């Protein structure tokens, strides 16, 4: 599992892109290299087979395989158009299913995209049937993606000091506590991830903070770091007020799980 996790982060997560609307995608030519294909023509055959599978599943090809192109130099000042595709997660899933299974990278890719695609399709009923630890893994994955997307939007909004930016959100949600304050209260070691040490309810509150802040930054077209920080604080505070109004448990009063998600990963 550790090998798969390490490969995923290096070869699949690192080549994931997020567009201006927060939608994730992968470039086919980058995925080709991650799957250890050397020739574009051969990989293109895999893409075409995947398109057929997409269509037979009742999905629109253009929703998952968006053809794009860019001009590249080929020598002596001449240029030509280089065809590429912006692929959805589902398209990547189909591609790894149609790739050479003898390649170790393909096998790892099949595991990665199958699990991630399944997580995206998880229904409310299925979620309710998960164990608490399974819910934690699910919510942690969503917060990781959400923070990545939020950081991209915050950068466009003028944010340069991201630690300070995120602390404004925590301070709003946790009644003035910073990330370091939360870590100390939970009794964590130095630099230990506080999100890995939250229960599913606490993670869900933070995910709501993350997604609502990103939406507000975009909607209000915020362009200064000061305004972005204020927005993050306000959203966090508003969510706290909603929790209180509904008689919920304040985030700082929720119990810290006995084992972090990293510890649970090592056990599995």
Q: For 82-108, b where at least 16 C-beta lie within 10 A, e where not — what string?
A: eebbbbbbbbbbbbbbbbeeeeebbbb
Residue 244 predicted with pLDDT over 80 = yes
Residue 6 predicted with pLDDT over 50 = no
Share of the chain above pLDDT 70, in %: 86
Residue 8 predicted with pLDDT over 60 = no
Q: What mean pLDDT comes out for the span 185-204? A: 94
Residue 1: CA count within 13 A, CB half-sphere: 8
Across all residues in the chain, what is the average pLDDT? 86
Q: What mean pLDDT comes out for the span 129-140? A: 88
Strand 24-27 and strand 65-75: pairing?
unpaired
Residue 32 predicted with pLDDT over 70 = yes
pLDDT tens digit string along 52-65? 988 887 888 988 99
Residue 1 predicted with pLDDT over 50 = no
Query: Where are the domains positioned within the chain?
Result: 2-120, 126-267
Report the length, in residues, of the chain: 268
Contact 211, 236 (CB under 8 A): no
Q: What mean pLDDT comes out for the span 37-41? A: 92
Confidence of residue 167 (pLDDT cuts 50, 70, 90): very high
Contact 40, 32 (CB under 8 A): yes
Alpha helices in 76-199 (DSSP H): 89-98, 104-120, 124-128, 132-156, 162-173, 179-186
* Complete DSSP assignment for 182-248: HHHHHTPPTT--SGGG--HHHHHHHHHHHHHHHHHHHHTT--SHHHHHHHHHHHHHHHHHHHHHTTP
Q: What mean pLDDT comes out for the span 249-268? A: 90
* 136 or 71, which is more confident: 136
| Helix (H), strand (E) counts: the chain | 13, 4
Phi and psi angles of residue 5, each rounded to the nearest 5 degrees, phi first: -60, -45
pLDDT tens digit string along 195-234? 999 999 999 999 999 988 998 999 899 999 999 999 999 9
Closest listed residue to residue 136, CA positions, set 249, 260, 1: 260
Confidence of residue 245 (pLDDT cuts 50, 70, 90): confident
Q: What mean pLDDT comes out for the span 76-103? A: 84
């Amino acid at each position: 599992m550790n090998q798969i996790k390490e490969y995923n982060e290096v070869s699949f997560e690192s080549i994931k892109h997020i567009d201006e609307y927060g939608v994730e995608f992968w470039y086919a030519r980058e995925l080709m290299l991650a799957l250890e294909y050397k020739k574009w023509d051969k990989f293109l055959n895999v893409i075409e087979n995947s398109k057929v599978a997409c269509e037979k599943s009742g999905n629109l090809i253009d929703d998952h395989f968006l053809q794009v192109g860019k001009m590249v130099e080929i020598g002596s000042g001449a240029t030509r158009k280089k065809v590429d595709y912006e692929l959805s997660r589902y398209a990547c899933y189909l591609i790894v299913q149609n790739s050479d299974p003898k390649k170790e990278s393909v096998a790892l890719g099949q595991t990665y995209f199958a699990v991630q695609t399944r997580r995206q399709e998880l229904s409310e009923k299925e979620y309710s049937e998960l164990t608490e630890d399974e819910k934690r893994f699910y919510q942690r994955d969503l917060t990781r993606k959400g923070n990545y997307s939020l950081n991209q939007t915050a950068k466009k909004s003028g944010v340069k000091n991201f630690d300070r930016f995120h602390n404004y959100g925590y301070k709003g949600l946790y009644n003035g506590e910073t990330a370091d304050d939360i870590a100390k209260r939970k009794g964590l070691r130095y630099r230990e991830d506080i999100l890995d040490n939250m229960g599913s309810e606490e993670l869900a509150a933070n995910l709501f903070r993350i997604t609502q802040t990103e939406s507000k930054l975009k909607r209000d077209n915020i362009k200064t770091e000061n305004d972005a920080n204020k927005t993050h604080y306000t959203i966090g505070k508003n969510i706290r007020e909603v929790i209180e109004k509904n008689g919920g448990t304040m985030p700082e009063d929720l119990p810290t799980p006995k084992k972090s998600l990293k510890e649970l990963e090592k056990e599995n």
